[in-house]
Chains A and B, each alone.
Chain A
Amino acid sequence: MSLTVLAVGASALVQDRGRFGWAHLGVPRAGALDGPAARLANRLVGNDEDAACLEVLLGGLTMSTDRSGWCAVTGARASVRVDGRPQEFAAAVWWPAGAVLEVATPGTGLRSYLAVAGGVAVAPVLGSRSTDTLAGVGPPPVRAGDVLPVGVTPGPPAASDVPRTPTPGPLRVRPGPRADRVAGDALALLCTTSYTVSPDSDRIGLRLLGVPLPLTRADELPSEGMVLGAVQVPPDGRPVVFLADHPTTGGYPVVAVVDEDDLWQCAQLRPGEPVRFTRAATG
């Protein structure tokens, strides 16, 4: 069974949970940026939560399938059509052989997730099918004309799946290793500054515009390991929140770390939208 890609919008990438255990060789983890949305799409069609799906940036995706099966679209709320007929969002949708599926541009958010029963079955690289946009590990970005293999359907779709919808809110932060590179209380400054999302943001990092944080020193640190959610402050004082394709080592100070459970919001924030931080309650 396979899917044929008829049209791609801004970008469509194969993503699963990502690549683990290779950071020491300089390989980013990659993986779906909005993890809860990707996992929900997989559950809806009966897949393992970590199966590979398509991460669709701002819609524009049109595909056909050569075998009937279930699919689901989650994440940024977009209209979904099969042969022109509107379908339910965030629900298992029957996709007949030969029919054309369209994922339109979402009204809010950035990234929608399309899961198909059986999962996208491109060859894994280092244990994952995810496309890493920083280092180019994994499959290339999906293009019109591509034929994507689909795996074996694991079982029937979930009868119902009503996950507790994650609530958007300020990004919860905990201290990072180099908080002392900011003059004053780094977390307090971060949490009292209003930021907006820069148009330069991508899968590597959510770049923020706002009053620059005052750094005590401008020189780089000896390179050190970086984590998902790291709030890195380059010499211009404008923080970058590291997302799934972040470099594995770097020399700019990390002053805070965003709670992993809040990073899905970073996948959906559009340029110009406001961002606030808040101190995480514990540990």
Chain B
Amino acid sequence: MRILPVGRHALLVEVSSPRDAVDLAGWARGQGLAREVVPGAETVLFDGLAGPVTGAEALDRALAAWRRTEPEPGRSVEIPVIYEGPDLANVAAVWGCAPDEVAARHAATEFVSAFCGFAPGFAYLSGLAVSVPRLATPRTRVPAGAVALAGPWCGVYPRESPGGWQVIGRTDAPLWDANRAEPALLAPGTRVRFVAR
């Protein structure tokens, strides 16, 4: 693991995969090493380093106690989807299959929430076998609940926003509610399956 400087109070740890990032971040959050522990695609940010751990060497020593866990039978969520989206044909062309087969392949994939960003509760779900390019021209308006793909990721828009991801379906699953104990339905580490409705 390479540890990179991020100013006075933070360090960025590079890991080898999204799975390692989410696993390390989940473990580290319980260790009280920093005020914010933020997984990325292939990194974990430790922001607001606390207690004795302030430098890269101290963090490296603290992280030596981390053991990659077996894929945990952690929280698992099913998301009902209506597979009707403007970009089904695009994705079918990239995957080399019929448009209705996109739904079957997507629903057969076991996704894991790797990290959040872009909007509260917007999770980058890893697990796609074949990457999908972004739209050449992003849409100014993607509706809340849109199920979409970009690069190696699948995501569900928690609220209406602009976006350049390829939309393949929609859901009414409650993705974000700040009043819940766990506000994000798809917090990092959550296992996710989509079910055609």
Contact = CB atoms under 8 A, between A and B. Distances in A.
**Do A and B interact with each other, yes or no?**
yes
Interface of A: 20-27, 125-126, 135-137, 174-178, 222-227, 229-230, 247-250, 254, 256-260, 280, 283
B43 A24 contact: no
B29 A24 contact: yes
Contact of B7 (A25, A27, A135, A257): A257
Contacts of B117: 26, 223, 247-250
Given A227-B10, A248-B116, A257-B8, 5 more contacts: A22-B183, A174-B5, A175-B7, A178-B4, A225-B36
A254 B115 CA distance: 19
Contacts of A22: 120, 183
A26 B4 CA distance: 22
B160 to A, nearest CB: 11
Contacts, number: 116
Contacts of B127: none
B183 A227 contact: no
B8 A259 contact: yes
B4 A177 contact: yes
Interface of B: 4-10, 12, 25, 29, 35-45, 47-48, 115-122, 124, 159, 178, 183-184, 187-188
Please give me the 3 A-B residue pairs with the lowest Cβ-Cβ distance, nearest first. Answer: A257-B7, A225-B45, A249-B117
28 contacts: A20-B36, A20-B48, A23-B47, A24-B36, A24-B37, A24-B38, A24-B116, A27-B120, A27-B183, A178-B4, A222-B43, A223-B117, A224-B40, A224-B41, A224-B45, A225-B44, A226-B45, A227-B10, A227-B47, A229-B7, A247-B118, A248-B116, A248-B117, A249-B117, A256-B7, A257-B7, A259-B7, A280-B8
A26 B12 contact: no
A266 B29 CA distance: 31
Nearest to B122: A26
Contacts of B48: 20
